[in-house]
Chains A and B, each alone.
Chain A
């Protein structure tokens, strides 16, 4: 641990000592215009959720850690830290020159205030659960303990101590999540709910909020008090809420935005042909899967049937012919791309499709079904063109391979969620999950017996126990081993059918410099620049 710490410290010092040399050929006007999906619901970092708000909050605020352009966790407002040998106590040393946009120093007390506010029941944060690794956080959220009991304290103005319930190796990666950001106490207390508005919002990141016209744009400008202002090149950032991807594409083509948030998949062929150099596709930490409702027939206690249905799906056809952006067929529960973690795989992952289908037919028969006595099943999904195409393809594959009769049911999002959670009507349902932080636990926890996203109702005490052990394990290697074991259980039991792992896709103008794709798809505007064009 000590060696690791010294190495880390050296890395930190080297990083801080460099004023990056400015790239040549910079445009005179450093303005970046980003498409940003849906309108953000709030810029209060402790109430925010969803990708659009997170994109903007990463520019406005800075956590103890941040991410380098390639996604690696690097020091943010904390310039260095020490981790106790048991992995449960983190001591952060804050930068002396870190300032709020109004010039006030950013202190350890601000972080204490922010973290307490985040878990305070009065804040009613939806994402506060992400702070559960911190000592007493869960009790505070539940109102069983006062916020003062949260395991966070300022040792002095620039030293912050965070105590954890158990060693949590991905904890540093959590600290760039907006739930952990500090907020400026004086302005929160002065303005209450309105503190996150232009002219009132005091932030500690590379940018400050200048304008927010709902459904039109959000304009950020350089925060001259930011500690690393010297290395920030882009002066002004515009975020445009554009939900419709075709609209976004048109505005991109008309030269009104420099980076799209997404790409319309139905126009991907045109894009690949006409804008091949501007299309950026990269693996994205998310999985698209179908779930089985394990509480009712036909899938309750019917592993053979579940396995047969999973084997009969030709995932390659789905990623090549339907989604088409470069998604990867998924044969594991955890999507690939997490540092140091090699996901477990289905035992049939490497079989040719023909062999899979033969085996699927055998299992299907053993489960008591046949061509003359076929399974009748329903796939339920939330209304969307893409989900529909995938459901139709899978229904066709099941029909062809096994003779299964499938009924497709689409529902409006909230109705669909309600039905999925109630587990009364659903048989096979569509689902997806995008990781919040770069660790397999993100995905593994979903299938814990009591987890809020376990709509399959997978209950396996052995799985729960392995994950519990993993969450107490301080040694990263052993921890990954335990999780891999747990993942193998999922792949054996088939409570879900993983189908493909997501990709992030953007169109980026050639004059946007230093864009580096990364697995969480986080791009800080401060790391980019605009070239002459």
Chain B
């Protein structure tokens, strides 16, 4: 197990290196630079800026400098948010996204698994159809439609919850964004869960369990749930990584100071260091979560063993 883990983690280094290299050169290939504005800057001022941010060096040298800094844990200064370093932006944004993301994924997991199981047990019944209709609706309505509707109902008309803002993470302020983040995930998970549960319920071990005369509750909870969770677990890896690095839509609409919008804004502003920072960070998280998923697999599925 330990050897396997070490091997996997070492194997992540070349993956990250490739990701970094690709991102670095793709970003530089995009037209325009971080300091371009409508009025082009006088050559002297452009030169001052380039010098300050080492943009006057050959690209390969900049790449080397970036790798060197990164090896020392330094993502560099943000080109856009001049008072902050990329490390600071990630360090302040990530806890917010992490909190919202983990809450959302936890809710999605509990509700999605319960709904999916329920639908599977009552296959082709009214319950099944209503759950699946809800799930399909949840998948098809995008966040940017759902979130404003939630705000209109709960903040503008009813006045129960704030329409946005972070307010240092007060519970009232996090409720709507968490729901907004969780709903599509609930939809995905319940669909996955229903499918795999139906399959598991038809498998030989379950038939045996039932034949032994075990009560239905025990059959479901002790014998069916674990194998039926496998596809959900593999979905959870990338989904968690995606949700905890923030959603640009939810953050924009609710005014949440998370990490998500840096992906888009960084790219649009050609904030090279910020884009690199979030790409590397996100890449590392995905690798980490996929690794965790593999470990959880071993716990859930006796057929999988890492020696």
A binds B: yes
Seen from chain A, the residues whose Cβ lies within 8 Å of a Cβ on chain B are 39, 41-44, 47, 49, 121-122, 124-126, 128-129, 141-143, 193-194, 196-197, 213-217, 240-244, 246-247, 250-251, 253-254, 256, 412-415, 417-419, 421, 431-433, 446, 451-453
- Once A215-B258, A251-B255, A254-B162 are accepted as A-B contacts, the answer to whether A413 and B268 lie under 8 Å apart by CB is yes
14 contacts between A and B (CB under 8 A): A42-B81, A122-B48, A214-B81, A214-B92, A215-B256, A244-B252, A251-B164, A256-B164, A412-B268, A414-B268, A414-B269, A417-B36, A419-B31, A446-B39
Q: Are A124 and B89 in contact (CB under 8 A)?
A: no
Kindly list the 10 A-B residue pairs having the minimum CB-CB distance in the complex, ordered from nearest: A414-B32, A215-B257, A452-B40, A254-B163, A142-B44, A42-B82, A216-B257, A216-B166, A418-B31, A124-B52
**Most chain-A CB neighbours within 10 Å: which of B33, B36, B39?**
B39
On whether A253 and B80 interact (CB within 8 A), knowing A126-B45, A129-B42, the answer reads no
Q: Are B93 and A214 in contact (CB under 8 A)?
A: yes
Answer yes or no: B84 CB below 8 A from chain A CBs: yes
Task: Give Cα A129 to B45, complex, Å.
Answer: 8
Residue of A nearest to B80 (CB): A41
Decide yes or no: A216 and B165 within 8 Å by CB, A126-B41, A143-B44 being known contacts. yes
Distance (whole angstroms) from the CB of B262 to the closest CB of chain A:
9
Residues in B neighbouring A142, C-beta threshold 8 A:
42, 44
Tell whether, in the assembled complex, residue B155 and residue A250 are in contact, meaning their CB atoms are under 8 Å apart.
yes
A193 to B151, alpha carbons, bound, how many Å? 39
The answer to whether A126 touches B35 (Cβ under 8 A) is: yes
The answer to whether the Cβ of B38 comes within 8 Å of any Cβ in the partner chain is yes
CB of B142 closer than 8 Å to a CB of A? no
Question: Is the Cβ of A196 less than 8 Å from the Cβ of B83?
Answer: yes
Taking CB atoms and an 8 Å cut-off, the chain B residues in 152-166 that contact chain A are: 152, 155-156, 159, 162-166
* Contact (A256, B162) CB under 8 Å given A126-B35, A247-B252: yes
- B165-A41 in contact (CB<8A): no
Query: In the bound complex, do residue B38 and residue A453 qualify as a contact, i.e. CB atoms below 8 Å apart?
Result: yes
Q: List the B side residues contacting A121 at CB < 8 Å.
A: 44, 48, 51
Q: In the complex, how many angstroms separate the beta carbon of A86 from the nearest chain B beta carbon?
A: 27
Number of B residues contacting the other chain (C-beta, 8 Å)? 51
Residue from B42, B82, B89 within 8 A of A214 (CB atoms): B89
With A254-B162, A453-B38 as given contacts, are A216 and B255 in contact (CB-CB < 8 Å)?
yes
The yes or no answer to B307 lying at the interface (CB within 8 A) is no
Q: Which of B211-229 contact A (CB under 8 A)?
A: none
- Taking a contact as CB atoms under 8 Å apart, the answer to whether B81 and A251 are in contact is no
Chain A positions within 8 Å of B261 at CB level: 215
Please report the C-alpha to C-alpha distance between residue A432 and residue B39 in the assembled complex, in whole angstroms.
11
Assess whether B251 is interfacial by the CB under 8 Å rule: yes
Q: In whole Å, how far is A427's beta carbon from the nearest beta carbon of chain B? A: 18
**Which residue of A has the minimal Cβ distance to B79?**
A41
- Would you list which residues of chain B between 4 and 44 have a CB under 8 Å from chain A? 30-33, 35-42, 44
Shortest Cβ gap from A144 to chain B (Å): 9
**Given A121-B48, A217-B165, A414-B268, A240 and B42 contact (CB-CB distance below 8 Å):** no
Contact B164 A215 (CB under 8 A): no
Q: How far is the CA of A143 from the CA of B38 in the complex (A)?
A: 24
Please report the C-alpha to C-alpha distance between residue A413 and residue B92 in the assembled complex, in whole angstroms: 28
- Contact of A43 with B83 at beta-carbon distance under 8 Å, contacts A215-B258, A247-B255 already known: yes
Kindly name the residue among B44, B80, B89 whose own CB sees the greatest number of chain A CB atoms within 10 A: B44
Which one, A122, A213, A256, A417, contacts B38 given CB within 8 A?
A417
Enumerate chain B residues within 8 angstroms of A419, measured Cβ to Cβ: 31
Cβ of B102 < 8 Å from any Cβ of A?
no
A214 / chain B contacts, CB cutoff of 8 Å: 81, 84, 89, 92-93, 257
